[in-house]
Amino acid sequence: MRAATPPMGWNSWNMFGATVNAEVIKQTADAFVAGGLKDAGYRYIVVDDFWQGGRGEDGKLFPDPQRFPEGMKALADYIHARGLLFGLYSDAGPQTCGGRPASQDFEETDARTFAEWGADYLKYDWCYAEDTRANAEHRYGKMSAALRATGREIVFSICEWGQHSPWLWGAKAGGNLWRTTGDIGDSWRDVPVSWGVLYGIESIGFEQQRGLEAHAGPGGWNDPDMLAVGLNGGSQTIAGAGCTPIEYRTHFALWCLLAAPLMIGCDVRRLDSGTREILTNLELIALDQDPLGRQGYRVSRNGFCELWKKPLAGGEWGVALLNRDNKRQTARGHWSDLEITSRYRIRDVGLLQDRGESSSEVTADLDPHGCAVYRLTPA
């Protein structure tokens, strides 16, 4: 099955935008191997918008000759030789969001080209397409059928920003993940154009994940957009002055609770140790990648404190206590709120510490915008 667990990897957009080039992609692949990201489970290296040079007289897309001088097949070979997977980007309309040629009415040709190059993943955007649900189902269905017809296993990422409730039809249209929101921002709160990481409490974005847990599972995931972790305000494309280390931790932990695709957005060639620690927390990643494939959800909210849970395989639970307040808070998760009854062994998977056993509750003293995440195992 394609995307039996949420895809993990890296995408060029958040950090490099229109400046993406083959050198950056190769160095990113090398950094995946040398920096422990591959070992932590990250596999896909996705070249987002602006790789296209044009469409030739033969009808085929070709890459920008200055920035991808050796072509895309050579780049894919480089990535594959390191045991990693290669992703590309196109758009269901006539042009990409960046105004490059896109795949509308070239679905079969482009799918064949991508497969010939060795693509393992296609992110498919929605700019300039006729913006109706019928057209979305039609266009995404058409591209996924064209990808399937190539015989190559290509993960299909639908990116219509949640406009037409893709969680209701994305799997039928052959999607393995579908964006549920507009573009993420690199800040805790909303910033103009982009949503903040956790967005204003009453706002959209992060809050848009509510209720969508019924529509995620092995092979088809809700996608609340790529990780802003580690951008530190240095993005060439997305807005925001950065988050604090605690906020990035919370952002990552919640994406894991949400069984979200984990697509890194920062420059992994220059990972500081704090960012590396967040991105390679294997116990949090294990929550994200749990084989049961259930998306976590909020079970209660008390002022600024929230209680979240994620059912795991084997009768275990992921549980998170989240403090959205600007001051410290003590948060509690009672078994009755979590609708569980047994005695559990409690492991803090954020801090990698055992917390004993309980048959009633977990509590945590949380930093502003902090979060504690636990794995509960029947004792």
**Known catalytic residues?**
125, 183
> C-beta of 261: minimal distance to ligand GLA in Å?
12
> C-beta of 227: minimal distance to ligand GLA in Å?
12
**Site mask for ligand GLA (CB under 6 A), range 96-135, x = bound:** xxx--------------------------x----------
Task: Say whether residue 223 binds ligand GLA (CB under 6 A).
Answer: no
Quick one: tokens of 291? 């084989």
In the bound state with ligand GLA, the residue whose beta carbon lies nearer, of 97 and 322, is 97
| Contact in structure between 101 and 54 (CB atoms under 8 Å) | yes
In the bound state with ligand GLA, the residue whose beta carbon lies nearer, of 98 and 230, is 98
Q: Residue 179: beta bridge partners?
A: 223
SS3 letters across 29-57: HHHHHHCCCCCCCCCEEECCCCCEEEECC
The window from 26-34, 39-47, 92-100, 347-355 that contacts ligand GLA (CB under 6 A) reads: 92-100
Distance CA 68, CA 95 (A): 20
Distance CA 137, CA 287 (A): 31
Of 290, 292, 268, 296, nearest to 280 by C-alpha is: 268
3 state SS of 236: coil
Q: Residue 158: beta bridge partners?
A: 124, 178
In the window 177-196, what residues touch ligand GLA (CB under 6 A)? 183
Reported in sequence order, the residue ranges of 250-295 that DSSP labels E, i.e. its strands, are 262-264
> C-beta of 64: minimal distance to ligand GLA in Å?
14
**Site mask for ligand GLA (CB under 6 A), range 20-49, x = bound:** ----------------------------xx
Which residue in the set 13, 106, 114, 335 belongs to the binding site for ligand GLA (CB under 6 A)? 13
Distances in whole angstroms, Cα of residue 168 to Cα of each of 17, 25, 173, 212: 30, 34, 10, 9
In the bound state with ligand GLA, the residue whose beta carbon lies nearer, of 159 and 372, is 159
> C-beta of 204: minimal distance to ligand GLA in Å?
15
| Contact in structure between 220 and 175 (CB atoms under 8 Å) | yes
In the bound state with ligand GLA, the residue whose beta carbon lies nearer, of 227 and 346, is 227
In the bound state with ligand GLA, the residue whose beta carbon lies nearer, of 49 and 306, is 49
Count of residues of this chain found to bind ligand GLA when the rule CB under 6 A is applied: 10
Neighbours of 26 (CB within 10 A): 17
In the bound state with ligand GLA, the residue whose beta carbon lies nearer, of 264 and 305, is 264
Quick one: tokens of 93? 């309309």
Distance CA 45, CA 364 (A): 37
Which residue in the set 15, 122, 159, 268 belongs to the binding site for ligand GLA (CB under 6 A)? 159
Distance CA 22, CA 70 (A): 8
> C-beta of 284: minimal distance to ligand GLA in Å?
23
Binding site for ligand GLA (CB under 6 A): 13, 48-49, 96-98, 125, 159, 161, 183
